[in-house]
């Protein structure tokens, strides 16, 4: 059994200010920039091809990378097949001809693709300037659709979330019934609601990290909350979710 890792907040996507080049064209009306807008997950990115690379220059050697994720649209499964081969490589120089210091193949799930680059020896992740994400989904009979792509670092607290929190799905779709009984609906994105998340103890560094995260996102900016990074509870579907703070957390002093 893998080691249980503490929950973390992923709110610093390094792709936001990186130089990114994609080796296939976009489908008209569905540009790559849509995949960097977590607040609008129904605005999809559609590549005009099923085998392509995403080449990334972070423009700095000092930016930690600890978490990678590809998410599907709201209320939808990920439109990348389980047969897809997703490879991530990183290097200090812009050269990817084999033998890179980082080269991993990432498994595909129904709701998303995730990879944790942190470890006991590198708790903050790894730092390389150049990255390449290769996607080969040539056996997929449908078009690829990506709602959000994350390659960044995280805020982690040294003690994990205490037991006793609640997890629910909130569906805010508008539904009306006519006099004849016909149902009309306007679908809204489902929302994940996690409440009662608490820590029995927070060190000063944990409080500072949490407050810095709050300053970055406030209540208006979504972020990825990773409750179970190693997916030790494999039967539960709450490991990686886009969320907002419904209220500003205030650590006790």
* The pLDDT value given to residue 189: 57
Is 231 in a helix, a strand, or coil?
coil
Domain ranges, ordered by start, for the chain: 8-156, 166-243
* The pLDDT value given to residue 199: 56
Beta bridge partners of 78: none
CA gap 45, 37 in Å, rounded = 10
> Which pairing describes strands 240-243 and 223-226: parallel, antiparallel, or unpaired?
antiparallel
Return the closest-CA partner of residue 10 out of 197, 229, 251: 229
Return the closest-CA partner of residue 203 out of 155, 252, 249: 252
* The pLDDT value given to residue 226: 73
* The pLDDT value given to residue 1: 33
* The pLDDT value given to residue 225: 75
pTM check: above 0.85: no
* The pLDDT value given to residue 3: 46
CA gap 93, 102 in Å, rounded = 12
Instruction: List average pLDDT for each run of 10 residues in the chain, which is 253 residues long.
Output: 61 91 95 87 89 96 89 75 94 95 89 82 88 96 91 75 60 75 70 57 71 73 68 51 63 55
| CATH no., domain 8-156 | 2.60.120.260
Q: How many CB atoms lie within 10 A of CB 80?
A: 23
Is 224 in a helix, a strand, or coil?
strand
* The pLDDT value given to residue 251: 53
* The pLDDT value given to residue 111: 66
Beta bridge partners of 8: 156, 226
Name the token pair of 147: 């709602």
């Amino acid at each position: 059994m893998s080691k249980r890792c503490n929950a973390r907040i992923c709110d610093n996507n390094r792709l936001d200010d990186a130089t990114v080049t994609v080796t296939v064209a976009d489908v008209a009306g569905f540009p790559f920039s849509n995949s960097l807008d977590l607040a609008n997950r129904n605005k999809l990115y559609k590549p005009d091809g099923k085998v392509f690379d995403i080449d990334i220059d972070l423009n700095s050697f000092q930016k930690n990378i600890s978490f990678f994720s590809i998410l599907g649209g709201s209320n939808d499964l990920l439109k990348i097949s389980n047969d897809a081969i997703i490879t991530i490589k990183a290097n200090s120089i812009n050269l990817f001809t084999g033998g890179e210091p980082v080269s991993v193949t990432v498994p595909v799930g129904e709701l998303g693709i995730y990879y944790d680059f942190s470890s006991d020896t590198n708790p903050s992740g790894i730092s390389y300037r150049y990255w390449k994400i290769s996607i080969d989904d040539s056996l997929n009979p449908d078009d690829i659709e990506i709602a959000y792509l994350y390659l960044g670092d995280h805020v982690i607290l040294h003690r994990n979330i205490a037991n006793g929190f609640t997890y629910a799905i909130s569906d805010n779709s508008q539904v009306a019934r006519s006099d004849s009984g016909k149902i009309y609906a306007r679908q809204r994105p489902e929302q994940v609601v996690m409440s009662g998340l608490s820590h029995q103890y927070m060190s000063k560094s944990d409080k500072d990290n949490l407050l810095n995260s709050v300053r970055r996102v406030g209540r208006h900016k979504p972020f990825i909350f990773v409750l179970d990074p190693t997916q030790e509870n494999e039967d539960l579907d709450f490991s990686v979710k886009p969320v907002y703070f419904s209220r500003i957390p205030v650590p006790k002093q």
